[in-house]
């Protein structure tokens, strides 16, 4: 009686349920579920400044190098943004989009290891936020002057040109920590160069996928995230947001 390979495998698993070694056909011993040693992260291939930061952080915190290296690579991709593109083939170009997730037990220093990577960007962003606060106050003053000038223009019998409506300032952002899909699209629209979305809790992000769906089923925000991953156009009809070519780096840890 002939026995299929699939049946042989099933029988072998029943005989060796714990993944113990079993004899090979030629009498040799082989492992069914052999554990491989983890491969060390190739720190030596990183750009020199990032490599030095990874080594220094690893030595100071005592964590795995990947806890700093992966956020570092994502931060570098975010700095490139849409300023450069990779030509896969003629007529097909893609921006620098890199998503990554650090998976490790709680308390393994994932967040402290990533903080030195984003600290410079956070400082630059704080400066830009202060500049935006000044710009928004100036915009409010310009709007008040515009309304006054518009009232005078409407009462005037002359046919001079109407005053020009002031343009609101746009906030310059580099890092995003906690945001909805609507907020993300608004920020991406204001920052066409791209953003870095770095935060914790992978499960919480996945839980957002089925919002606005009946019974928790359907696409929800999932389809939008897939489009963003591919740097494809995103339109959120709920708020009227449209981003033609989003460039978003994404880190979960």
Cα→Cα distances 158→20, 145, 149, 191, Å: 95, 20, 14, 41
Judge residue 185's burial from the number of C-beta atoms within 10 Å of its C-beta, 0-12 exposed, 13-18 middle, 19 or more buried.
Answer: buried
Share of the chain above pLDDT 70, in %: 79
Confidence of residue 2 (pLDDT cuts 50, 70, 90): very low
- Summarize pLDDT for 62-100 with one digit per residue, the tens: 999 999 999 999 999 999 999 998 888 888 888 889 999
pLDDT tens per residue across span 99-110: 999 988 888 899
**Range in 7-21, 48-62, 136-150, 206-220 the model is least confident about:** 7-21
Neighbours of 174 (CB within 10 A): 20
Give me the pLDDT at residue 212, please.
58
Q: Are strands 248-252 and 195-199 parallel, antiparallel or unpaired?
A: parallel
- Taking all residues of the chain, what is their mean pLDDT, rounded to a whole number? 82
pLDDT digits (tens, 9 = 90+) for 156-215: 877 778 889 999 999 999 999 888 888 888 899 999 999 999 988 787 788 777 665 555
The rounded percent of the chain whose pLDDT value lies above 90 is: 42
pLDDT of residue 246: 85
Angle at CA of residue 58, ends 53 and 63, nearest 5°: 140
Query: Alpha helices of the chain — where are they, by DSSP H?
Result: 5-15, 48-61, 66-80, 110-155, 181-190, 202-207, 222-229
pLDDT of residue 70: 95
Quick: pLDDT tens for 205-227: 887 776 655 554 445 688 888 88
pLDDT of residue 43: 92
Q: What is the pLDDT of residue 157?
A: 75
Q: Please, which pLDDT band fits residue 230 given cuts at 50, 70 and 90?
A: confident
If one compares 172 and 239, the residue with the highest pLDDT of the two is 172
């Amino acid at each position: 009686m002939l026995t299929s390979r699939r049946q042989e495998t099933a029988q072998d698993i029943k005989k060796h349920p714990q993944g113990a070694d079993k004899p090979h056909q030629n009498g040799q011993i082989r492992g069914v579920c052999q554990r491989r040693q983890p491969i060390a992260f190739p720190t030596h291939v990183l750009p020199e400044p990032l490599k030095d930061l990874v080594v220094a952080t690893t030595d100071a915190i005592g964590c795995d190098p990947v806890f700093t290296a992966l956020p570092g690579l994502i931060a570098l991709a975010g700095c490139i943004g849409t300023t450069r593109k990779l030509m896969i083939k003629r007529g097909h170009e893609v921006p620098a989009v890199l998503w990554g997730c650090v998976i490790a037990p709680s308390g393994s220093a994932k967040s402290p290891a990533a903080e030195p990577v984003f600290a410079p960007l956070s400082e630059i962003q704080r400066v830009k936020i202060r500049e935006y606060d000044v710009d928004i106050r100036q915009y409010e003053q310009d709007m008040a002057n515009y309304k006054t000038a518009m009232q005078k223009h409407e009462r005037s019998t002359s046919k001079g040109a109407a005053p020009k409506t002031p343009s609101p300032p746009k906030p310059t952002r580099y890092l995003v920590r906690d945001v909805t899909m609507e907020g993300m699209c608004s920020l991406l629209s204001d920052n066409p160069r791209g953003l870095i979305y770095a935060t914790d809790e992978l499960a919480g992000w996945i839980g957002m996928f089925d919002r606005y769906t009946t019974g928790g089923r359907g696409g929800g925000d999932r389809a939008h995230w897939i489009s963003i991953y591919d740097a494809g156009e995103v339109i959120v009809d709920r708020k009227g947001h449209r981003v033609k070519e989003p460039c978003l780096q994404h880190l979960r840890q």
